[in-house]
Every structure is written in structure tokens, then in C-alpha cells.
Amino acid sequence: MKAAIRTVWEERPLVLLLLLGGFFRLLAVFFSNGYAMHDDHFHVVEVAQGWADGRDLFDWLDLTYGGSTSFRSLVYPGLVFLLFEGLELLGLNDPMGKMLVLRFLHALWSLLTIVFVYRIAQAMGHPRVAREAALLTAVLWLMPYISVRTLSEVVCIPLLMGGAWLLLKDQRTRNAWLPPLLAGLCFGLAFSIRYQSILFGAGMGLGLLLNRRIRPALWLLLGTLLPIGLIHGLLEGWITGDPFGKVIYYIQYNATHSGEYIVLPWYNYLLLLIGILGPMGPLYFFGVFWKFRTYLPLFLGFFLFLAFHSYIPNKQERFLFTVLPAYFLLGSLGWNRFVQSSRFWTRNPGIRRGLWIAFWAINGIALLAFSTYFPKEALVRAMYSLKQEPEPVHTLLVDDVRRPDTLFVPRYYSGQWPVVYVHTQKYDLPYLERRFEALPPDRQPEIVLFIGSEQLDERVARVRKLLPGLQFARHFKANALDRFLHWLNEYNRTEEVYKYRVPQ
């Protein structure tokens, strides 16, 4: 068996890479339900299901602009909307079942990234790098997990790497027009999914210009502008009545509000890139900058993206997911070239082997844990339980008094759209009492969810004064990894959920 695997690895490595990547992505498809971050649920799934149910949640189609998310592109949630519509026509209405199909399609889509990473390195004449970088893309501990999430930062990756491959696969043909035109189409479509991804394409175009490949750069620009004009100028202009309005408003909003979110130091992403590869992190990060002139377009695409996101104050880990495969490629290219020219590393291969053994040992544990991780399990299962209630739930109260401001709950999993009131530091009980007094009897809260177990008895007693007769219904436990992540960072609100019913 071992000899057979080694033979496949030497003769048909891409087949083995796809099998490995596909296996762990299938684990994530079946076991990694839920959502990881706010954006991969509320800006995609919730919006798409709302459209399927005839609701324009968060004013995405608002003609006036200025709603909290109305500046976001319609393309990605629009595709998910079409999928949900099709599944419901086929009789699949269960929220969990639809998400299973959605994760499976994302897993298939992400396999293209493995192919393109392998092909790019192969086109550069580095078979060892092709296997190494594609292997990291396939089974780095984070990759299967994020590959099945509905994150625009991840969904645009196959388009970016496909465009990079089209530009780099035959650099000897300096004046060919079709590959750069098709690459531009890929970059333009990626922009329509995640606006910031245009930085990668712009960097690659700049690399072509610096390499004096003027005509390919112009064809690349034309190809990029075509889908942007058609989608954001014509299609979104037809839907909203304001061509390019969403793109312009998005730029304006982020130019003035980027300091209102998670603000971290400029070097935060550098530390993330080093840390994500464990023992090999410092070596790969060094490799990115080692004689990068040889692969200048790819380097500038990565570097421009990284520099921009390091400059802006708002920093979230998911922003960097977009260029992780490019990082694996550049790091592997540079590091392996350095090793070949280094007397120390060529004389001490055991050190390098030991670092890789340590990396894969750590990675194997994390890979299995995250490929089967159900993020925010307690909250998702609590909302899903509303679907099994004997009567529709019209009004829901969620108690999380540690939270300073508002709170979003994934109504999608309930299969309905109850009005949600939240008890937080901003929305205290006197405020809620005034709101409930204005509601008719049949629109008073029927269900209360308490997030977290801190001072639970006192919190229940306070809410019971507002909603007499409150009765315990069920306790939804957080899984081990959710509890661990909450222990690492208290802002990861993934704790227990306690469900109570209000007698009607």
C-alpha cells in the first residue's frame, strides 16, 4: 500500500492531491455545519433565503442606499438564492439539508484551487514546489474548513488562481491575447464576488507592465473591465436603478468607517502568515521575498493585496484567506530556491526534515479537528429547534447581557422569520418592557434564548418578571472546540444556549 501511494505521488501527484483534499473537504461537508463568522451567514445565506421567501433583508435591494449592507455585491448571494430556489422546487426545504448541498458545491469549487496552484508551479518548472504548495492548499489544517464556508473571501480564490495560471502558464508567448483576456475575465468575476480581490489582479497587471509585457497587460485590463461593466453597470443598474452605485458606496463607506471595526497593528497579518504554517512559517515567509523578481506578477499580486490590508485599520483574519494559496506558492518557490543555493541547508537536510515532521504532526491534529468542527453549534441547533415547535414562532427574545450592542441570530435555521428582540447592555429590560407593552397579545415573545451560563438563574428571574410563567425547555451544549475557542478569546461567543418557553 505504501509503495502504491509513493508510485502515485511520483507519477500522478495531482490525482493524490485531489483525493486528499477532497476527502477532508467531504468531512467538512458532512460534519462542519453552522457558520464561522458573521459575514459567511448573514451576508450570504440569510440574505439569499430572505429573497427566496420574498423578503429583502438588510435592504440589499434598497434603491436609496445607506442601509447597513446595501453596498455589497448581489452576485454571490444571488447565486445562493438561485440554488435555494431550485432546491425548494425539488422539495428540499429543510435548512440543514440545503446547507449540506451548499457546502458540497463549495467543496467541489475549492478543488479547482488545488489544480491551479499545482499547474502554476509546474509551469514555472518546479515539480517539487508544485506538489508542496498544492499539498498545503489541499490539507493545511484551515483549508477544508474555510473551503465549505460561504465566505466571499474564499469563494473568489479559484477565479484568482485560475487567472494567475492563465497569465503564467506560457510566459514565452509575449503578445498572445486570449490568455490575458480570459485571466481578466476571471479577475473581473472575482471582483464581483469580493471587491478587494481586484488588488491581486491589479498587482499581476503591474507585474506584466514592469516586465514590459504591454499588450498582455492591456488585454488583461479589458478582460477585467468587461464583467465589471456588465454586472455592476448594467445588471445591478437595472435592479437598483443606480449603475455602479453599490461599488461607489462601498468605497465611500470603508474610506470613512474602517476604523470602527476590529483595529489591529499593521504587522498583524504578517504574524498570521508566519503562524499559520507553524514551524515552517518563518521559512516560508522568508521565501516569499527571496529573489521574487523571477515571478514578479505573482509576487506583486500577493504583495499589493497584503500591503493594502496591512495599511487599513480594520483587520480580520478572513480578509487574508483570499491570498493564502498565493502565499503557499510564493513561499515554496522562494524557500526551495534558497535551500538549493544554501550550503548550510544542503548539508543539513535532517533539520529541514525534522521541521516538516513537526509541522505535519501539529497540522494533522488541527486538520481533523477543524474538518469536523461544527462552529456555533449550540446557537444553530437552538434556532433549528424552532422549526419543530408545534406552532410558528412569531416573536423571539434573546438574552446576552454581556454584549454591549445588538445581537444577530441565524433565523435561517428556524425555517421562519420571527421578530427578534435582544436583551443586551444597550437594550435593557425597561426598554424591552416598553416595546412589549405596545405589542398585541398574539405577538408577545413565545421563546426566550439565554446565551451563556453566567448568572443564569438571576437573568431568568429578571426576564420572568417581564414574561411571567417562563418555563425551561432545553439546554443546547457547546461543543469542545467552541468552548476552547471561547476560552482563548471571550469575544468568540459560542457558549451554551438555554431555551425557555413562554406559556400562551
Q: pLDDT tens digit string along 245-286?
A: 788 888 887 777 666 677 788 889 999 999 999 999 999 999
Cell triple for residue 380?
444553530
Residue 66's pLDDT is what?
A: 45
Cell triple for residue 97?
439539508
| Mean pLDDT of the 36-48 span | 91
- pLDDT at residue 216 greater than cutoff 70: yes
Residue 405's pLDDT is what?
A: 77
Return the CA Rg of the chain: 25
Least confident of 55-69, 70-84, 335-349, 455-469: 55-69
Alpha-carbon distances, residue 343 vs 126, 252, 337, 338, 483 (angstroms)? 20, 52, 12, 10, 47
- pLDDT at residue 120 greater than cutoff 60: yes
> ∠ CA 346-348-352 to the nearest 5 degrees?
95
Residue 62's pLDDT is what?
A: 66
Quote the mean pLDDT of the chain: 90
- pLDDT at residue 67 greater than cutoff 60: no
The tally of CA atoms less than 13 A away on the side-chain side of residue 169 is 17
Q: What percent of the chain has pLDDT over 90?
A: 64
Cell triple for residue 233?
453597470
Chain segment 72-113, per-residue pLDDT in tens = 888 999 999 999 999 999 999 999 999 999 999 999 999 999
Instruction: Decide if 332 contacts 133 (C-beta within 8 A).
Output: yes
CA distance 276 to 140: 9
Least confident of 115-119, 203-207, 454-458: 454-458
CA distance 18 to 111: 7
Q: Which helix (H) or strand (E) holds 144?
A: helix 143-147
Chain segment 289-308, per-residue pLDDT in tens = 998 988 899 999 999 999 99
Residue 442's pLDDT is what?
A: 85
List, in sequence order, every residue forming a beta bridge with 382; answer none if it has no partner: none
Residue 464's pLDDT is what?
A: 92
CA distance 467 to 455: 18
Alpha-carbon distances, residue 287 vs 99, 177, 204, 480 (angstroms)? 39, 32, 19, 36
Residue 1's pLDDT is what?
A: 66
Instruction: Decide if 117 contacts 325 (C-beta within 8 A).
Output: yes
Residue 15's pLDDT is what?
A: 92
> ∠ CA 282-21-103 to the nearest 5 degrees?
110
Chain segment 325-378, per-residue pLDDT in tens = 999 999 999 999 999 888 899 898 899 999 999 999 999 999 999 999 999 999
Residue 240's pLDDT is what?
A: 77
